[in-house]
Protein backbone atom coordinates (compact mmCIF):
# COMPACT_ATOMS: atom_id res chain seq x y z
CA UNK A 1 0.00 0.00 0.00
CA UNK A 2 2.79 2.44 0.93
CA UNK A 3 4.60 1.80 -2.35
CA UNK A 4 1.46 2.56 -4.39
CA UNK A 5 0.96 5.87 -2.59
CA UNK A 6 4.58 6.93 -3.09
CA UNK A 7 4.69 6.09 -6.78
CA UNK A 8 1.56 8.15 -7.43
CA UNK A 9 3.02 11.21 -5.67
CA UNK A 10 6.65 10.87 -6.67
CA UNK A 11 6.50 13.44 -9.47
CA UNK A 12 4.98 16.03 -7.16
CA UNK A 13 7.56 15.32 -4.47
CA UNK A 14 10.54 15.78 -6.76
CA UNK A 15 9.07 19.05 -8.05
CA UNK A 16 8.60 20.36 -4.51
CA UNK A 17 12.16 19.46 -3.56
CA UNK A 18 13.59 21.03 -6.70
CA UNK A 19 12.06 24.44 -5.97
CA UNK A 20 12.38 24.44 -2.16
CA UNK A 21 16.11 23.84 -1.68
CA UNK A 22 18.35 25.99 0.49
CA UNK A 23 21.33 28.04 -0.63
CA UNK A 24 23.71 26.34 -3.06
CA UNK A 25 26.87 24.88 -1.57
CA UNK A 26 29.94 23.52 -3.24
CA UNK A 27 30.14 19.81 -2.53
CA UNK A 28 32.20 17.00 -4.00
CA UNK A 29 30.36 15.00 -6.62
CA UNK A 30 28.84 11.81 -5.31
CA UNK A 31 26.96 9.01 -6.96
CA UNK A 32 23.31 8.45 -6.16
CA UNK A 33 22.82 6.04 -3.26
CA UNK A 34 22.83 2.40 -4.27
CA UNK A 35 19.61 0.39 -3.93
CA UNK A 36 19.07 -0.74 -0.37
CA UNK A 37 19.93 -4.33 0.57
CA UNK A 38 17.11 -6.69 1.37
CA UNK A 39 15.78 -6.29 4.87
CA UNK A 40 16.17 -9.27 7.22
CA UNK A 41 12.69 -10.51 8.24
CA UNK A 42 11.68 -9.09 11.59
CA UNK A 43 14.03 -6.11 11.52
CA UNK A 44 12.64 -2.63 12.05
CA UNK A 45 13.30 -0.46 8.99
CA UNK A 46 14.86 2.84 10.04
CA UNK A 47 15.85 5.88 7.99
CA UNK A 48 17.99 8.71 9.32
CA UNK A 49 18.84 12.04 7.74
CA UNK A 50 22.63 12.18 8.15
CA UNK A 51 25.50 9.75 8.60
CA UNK A 52 26.30 10.38 12.30
CA UNK A 53 22.74 9.30 13.13
CA UNK A 54 23.46 5.85 11.73
CA UNK A 55 25.96 5.43 14.58
CA UNK A 56 23.38 6.49 17.19
CA UNK A 57 20.58 4.32 15.81
CA UNK A 58 22.77 1.24 15.48
CA UNK A 59 24.05 1.66 19.04
CA UNK A 60 20.49 1.70 20.34
CA UNK A 61 18.89 -0.78 17.94
CA UNK A 62 21.70 -3.25 17.23
CA UNK A 63 20.74 -6.08 14.91
CA UNK A 64 17.05 -5.53 15.62
CA UNK A 65 17.01 -2.70 13.09
CA UNK A 66 18.23 -1.95 9.57
CA UNK A 67 19.41 1.64 9.16
CA UNK A 68 19.61 3.64 5.93
CA UNK A 69 20.69 7.25 5.50
CA UNK A 70 19.22 9.98 3.32
CA UNK A 71 22.25 12.23 2.77
CA UNK A 72 25.14 10.12 1.39
CA UNK A 73 28.86 10.84 1.86
CA UNK A 74 30.07 13.95 0.09
CA UNK A 75 26.67 15.63 -0.06
CA UNK A 76 25.39 18.54 2.02
CA UNK A 77 22.28 18.24 4.23
CA UNK A 78 21.63 21.92 3.51
CA UNK A 79 20.36 21.33 -0.01
CA UNK A 80 20.23 17.57 -0.62
CA UNK A 81 17.35 16.25 -2.72
CA UNK A 82 16.45 12.60 -1.99
CA UNK A 83 16.44 10.34 -5.02
CA UNK A 84 13.30 8.60 -6.31
CA UNK A 85 14.75 5.26 -5.14
CA UNK A 86 15.24 6.63 -1.62
CA UNK A 87 11.65 7.86 -1.54
CA UNK A 88 10.39 4.43 -2.57
CA UNK A 89 12.53 2.71 0.06
CA UNK A 90 11.45 5.18 2.74
CA UNK A 91 7.87 4.20 2.03
CA UNK A 92 8.66 0.67 3.24
CA UNK A 93 10.38 1.84 6.46
CA UNK A 94 8.89 1.92 9.95
CA UNK A 95 10.68 4.99 11.30
CA UNK A 96 12.35 8.11 9.95
CA UNK A 97 14.57 9.90 12.49
CA UNK A 98 15.00 13.55 11.56
CA UNK A 99 17.48 15.94 13.19
CA UNK A 100 16.56 19.43 12.00
CA UNK A 101 18.90 19.84 9.01
CA UNK A 102 17.69 22.17 6.21
CA UNK A 103 16.79 19.64 3.50
CA UNK A 104 14.10 18.27 5.84
CA UNK A 105 12.16 21.56 5.70
CA UNK A 106 10.70 20.80 2.27
CA UNK A 107 10.99 17.04 2.33
CA UNK A 108 9.33 16.09 5.62
CA UNK A 109 5.97 17.90 5.14
CA UNK A 110 5.56 16.27 1.74
CA UNK A 111 6.38 12.81 3.10
CA UNK A 112 3.99 13.29 6.02
CA UNK A 113 1.16 13.77 3.53
CA UNK A 114 2.16 11.10 1.01
CA UNK A 115 3.21 8.35 3.46
CA UNK A 116 0.88 8.74 6.45
CA UNK A 117 1.83 5.36 7.94
CA UNK A 118 5.52 6.28 8.26
CA UNK A 119 6.46 7.32 11.81
CA UNK A 120 8.56 10.50 11.55
CA UNK A 121 10.39 11.30 14.79
CA UNK A 122 12.26 14.55 15.47
CA UNK A 123 15.27 13.49 17.51
CA UNK A 124 16.17 17.13 18.18
CA UNK A 125 12.81 17.90 19.79
CA UNK A 126 13.27 19.47 23.21
CA UNK A 127 16.88 20.51 22.61
CA UNK A 128 17.52 24.20 23.23
CA UNK A 129 19.07 25.37 19.99
CA UNK A 130 21.86 27.83 19.42
CA UNK A 131 20.95 30.53 16.90
CA UNK A 132 23.01 31.76 13.98
CA UNK A 133 22.59 34.20 11.13
CA UNK A 134 21.35 32.62 7.90
CA UNK A 135 20.70 35.16 5.17
CA UNK A 136 20.01 37.96 7.64
CA UNK A 137 17.60 35.96 9.82
CA UNK A 138 18.45 34.22 13.07
CA UNK A 139 17.71 30.52 12.68
CA UNK A 140 18.29 27.42 14.83
CA UNK A 141 21.71 25.85 14.49
CA UNK A 142 21.03 22.23 13.40
CA UNK A 143 24.45 20.75 14.30
CA UNK A 144 23.21 19.16 17.54
CA UNK A 145 25.09 15.91 16.89
CA UNK A 146 28.41 17.61 17.62
CA UNK A 147 27.85 17.55 21.41
CA UNK A 148 28.02 14.07 23.03
CA UNK A 149 25.69 15.13 25.84
CA UNK A 150 23.04 16.27 23.37
CA UNK A 151 23.51 12.98 21.51
CA UNK A 152 22.33 11.22 24.67
CA UNK A 153 19.05 13.10 24.36
CA UNK A 154 18.72 12.21 20.68
CA UNK A 155 19.47 8.54 21.38
CA UNK A 156 16.83 8.49 24.13
CA UNK A 157 14.25 9.69 21.61
CA UNK A 158 15.32 6.87 19.28
CA UNK A 159 15.05 4.35 22.12
CA UNK A 160 11.51 5.40 23.00
CA UNK A 161 10.35 5.34 19.37
CA UNK A 162 11.82 1.88 18.81
CA UNK A 163 10.12 0.59 21.95
CA UNK A 164 6.81 1.97 20.74
CA UNK A 165 6.99 0.20 17.37
CA UNK A 166 8.72 -2.94 18.68
CA UNK A 167 7.60 -3.39 22.32
CA UNK A 168 8.59 -7.08 22.50
CA UNK A 169 12.24 -5.99 22.63
CA UNK A 170 11.88 -3.12 25.09
CA UNK A 171 14.48 -4.52 27.47
CA UNK A 172 17.00 -4.87 24.62
CA UNK A 173 16.55 -1.27 23.50
CA UNK A 174 16.82 0.01 27.07
CA UNK A 175 19.98 -1.99 27.75
CA UNK A 176 21.64 -0.86 24.53
CA UNK A 177 20.73 2.75 25.23
CA UNK A 178 22.15 2.56 28.76
CA UNK A 179 25.44 1.21 27.41
CA UNK A 180 25.58 3.90 24.72
CA UNK A 181 24.77 6.66 27.22
CA UNK A 182 27.66 5.46 29.40
CA UNK A 183 29.96 5.59 26.35
CA UNK A 184 28.87 9.16 25.65
CA UNK A 185 29.46 10.21 29.25
CA UNK A 186 32.96 8.74 29.05
CA UNK A 187 33.55 10.51 25.73
CA UNK A 188 32.43 13.81 27.27
CA UNK A 189 34.85 13.37 30.18
CA UNK A 190 37.66 12.53 27.76
CA UNK A 191 36.99 15.62 25.65
CA UNK A 192 36.72 17.83 28.72
CA UNK A 193 40.17 16.74 29.86
CA UNK A 194 41.67 17.09 26.37
CA UNK A 195 40.29 20.59 25.79
CA UNK A 196 40.72 22.02 29.29
CA UNK A 197 44.12 23.57 28.42
CA UNK A 198 42.55 25.62 25.60
CA UNK A 199 39.24 26.59 27.23
CA UNK A 200 38.48 30.28 26.83
CA UNK A 201 40.13 30.37 23.39
CA UNK A 202 38.54 31.19 20.02
CA UNK A 203 38.50 28.79 17.07
CA UNK A 204 38.17 30.21 13.55
CA UNK A 205 36.05 28.11 11.18
CA UNK A 206 34.62 28.62 7.71
CA UNK A 207 31.12 27.22 8.34
CA UNK A 208 29.72 27.44 11.90
CA UNK A 209 29.19 23.71 12.44
CA UNK A 210 31.10 23.37 15.71
CA UNK A 211 29.18 25.64 18.07
CA UNK A 212 27.59 22.96 20.25
CA UNK A 213 30.87 21.09 20.65
CA UNK A 214 32.88 24.22 21.41
CA UNK A 215 30.25 25.71 23.74
CA UNK A 216 30.34 22.55 25.83
CA UNK A 217 34.05 23.00 26.50
CA UNK A 218 34.15 26.81 26.79
CA UNK A 219 35.67 27.62 23.39
CA UNK A 220 34.28 30.37 21.14
CA UNK A 221 33.46 29.64 17.50
CA UNK A 222 34.33 32.46 15.05
CA UNK A 223 32.86 31.90 11.57
CA UNK A 224 34.28 33.25 8.31
CA UNK A 225 31.03 32.55 6.47
CA UNK A 226 28.69 35.51 6.94
CA UNK A 227 24.93 34.85 7.11
CA UNK A 228 25.33 31.68 5.06
CA UNK A 229 27.41 33.26 2.29
CA UNK A 230 30.98 34.09 1.35
CA UNK A 231 32.24 37.20 3.18
CA UNK A 232 32.69 40.50 1.33
CA UNK A 233 36.24 41.88 1.07
CA UNK A 234 35.56 44.20 4.02
CA UNK A 235 34.09 41.37 6.12
CA UNK A 236 37.02 39.13 5.25
CA UNK A 237 39.47 41.82 6.30
CA UNK A 238 37.66 42.15 9.64
CA UNK A 239 38.00 38.41 10.23
CA UNK A 240 41.69 38.55 9.33
CA UNK A 241 42.23 41.43 11.75
CA UNK A 242 40.54 39.55 14.57
CA UNK A 243 42.50 36.38 13.77
CA UNK A 244 45.74 38.36 13.94
CA UNK A 245 44.76 39.96 17.23
CA UNK A 246 43.97 36.56 18.73
CA UNK A 247 47.11 34.97 17.30
CA UNK A 248 45.06 32.34 15.47
CA UNK A 249 47.02 29.67 13.63
CA UNK A 250 44.39 27.36 12.08
CA UNK A 251 41.11 27.69 10.18
CA UNK A 252 38.71 24.72 10.17
CA UNK A 253 36.97 23.88 6.89
CA UNK A 254 34.55 21.07 5.99
CA UNK A 255 34.89 19.09 2.73
CA UNK A 256 31.39 20.23 1.66
CA UNK A 257 32.37 23.92 1.60
CA UNK A 258 34.69 26.12 -0.48
CA UNK A 259 38.15 26.79 0.93
CA UNK A 260 39.07 30.06 -0.80
CA UNK A 261 38.10 32.46 1.99
CA UNK A 262 39.56 30.20 4.67
CA UNK A 263 42.84 29.98 2.75
CA UNK A 264 42.90 33.77 2.35
CA UNK A 265 42.65 34.15 6.13
CA UNK A 266 45.22 31.41 6.76
CA UNK A 267 47.72 33.01 4.37
CA UNK A 268 47.22 36.44 5.91
CA UNK A 269 47.97 35.14 9.43
CA UNK A 270 50.67 32.71 8.30
CA UNK A 271 48.47 29.86 9.45
CA UNK A 272 46.99 26.71 7.91
CA UNK A 273 43.65 25.28 6.82
CA UNK A 274 42.53 22.13 8.63
CA UNK A 275 39.96 19.88 6.94
CA UNK A 276 37.46 18.31 9.34
CA UNK A 277 34.40 16.16 8.68
CA UNK A 278 31.48 16.63 11.11
CA UNK A 279 29.37 14.26 8.99
CA UNK A 280 31.58 11.19 9.48
CA UNK A 281 29.61 8.03 10.39
CA UNK A 282 32.37 6.94 12.81
CA UNK A 283 31.02 9.32 15.41
CA UNK A 284 33.06 8.73 18.56
CA UNK A 285 36.44 8.45 16.86
CA UNK A 286 35.66 11.42 14.65
CA UNK A 287 34.74 13.65 17.61
CA UNK A 288 37.94 12.58 19.35
CA UNK A 289 39.91 13.46 16.23
CA UNK A 290 38.23 16.87 15.92
CA UNK A 291 38.90 17.60 19.60
CA UNK A 292 42.55 16.71 19.17
CA UNK A 293 42.79 18.99 16.12
CA UNK A 294 41.17 21.78 18.15
CA UNK A 295 43.62 21.23 21.02
CA UNK A 296 46.64 21.24 18.71
CA UNK A 297 45.39 24.23 16.74
CA UNK A 298 44.76 26.35 19.83
CA UNK A 299 47.81 25.34 21.85
CA UNK A 300 50.43 28.06 22.03
Q: Which domains are assigned to the chain? A: 2-123+141-190 (3.40.50.1980), 199-298 (3.40.50.1980)
What does the DSSP 8-state code read for residue 219? -
The pLDDT mean for the chain works out to: 87
Q: Give the pLDDT confidence of 288-298 residue by residue, as tens digits.
A: 999 999 999 99
Cα(77)–Cα(101) distance, integer angstroms: 6
Helix-helix angle 51-61:148-165, to 10 degrees = 60
C-alpha to C-alpha distance for 266 and 248, rounded to whole angstroms: 9
Give the residue with greater pLDDT, 126 vs 30. Answer: 126
Highest mean pLDDT among 6-15, 70-79, 163-172: 163-172
**What pLDDT band is residue 85 in, cutting at 50, 70 and 90?**
very high
Torsion on CA atoms 227, 233, 237, 239, rounded to nearest 10: 20
Residues 6+ apart with CB under 8 A from 4: none
pLDDT at position 41 is 64
- Eight-state DSSP code of residue 71: S
pLDDT digits (tens, 9 = 90+) for 158-209: 999 999 999 999 999 999 999 999 999 999 999 999 999 999 999 999 989 9
Question: Quick one: pLDDT at residue 138?
Answer: 86
Give pLDDT tens digits for 99-154.
Answer: 999 999 999 999 998 888 899 999 999 999 999 876 677 889 999 999 999 999 99
Amino acid sequence: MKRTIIVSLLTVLIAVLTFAGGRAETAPAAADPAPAPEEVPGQIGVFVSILPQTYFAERVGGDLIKVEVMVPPGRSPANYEPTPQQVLTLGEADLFFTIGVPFENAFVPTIEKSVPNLRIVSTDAGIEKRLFDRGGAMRPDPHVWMDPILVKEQAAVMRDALIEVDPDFESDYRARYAAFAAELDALDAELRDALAPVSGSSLFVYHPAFGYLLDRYDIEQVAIEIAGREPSPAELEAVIERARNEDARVIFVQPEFPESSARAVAEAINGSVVLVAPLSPDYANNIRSIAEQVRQGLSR
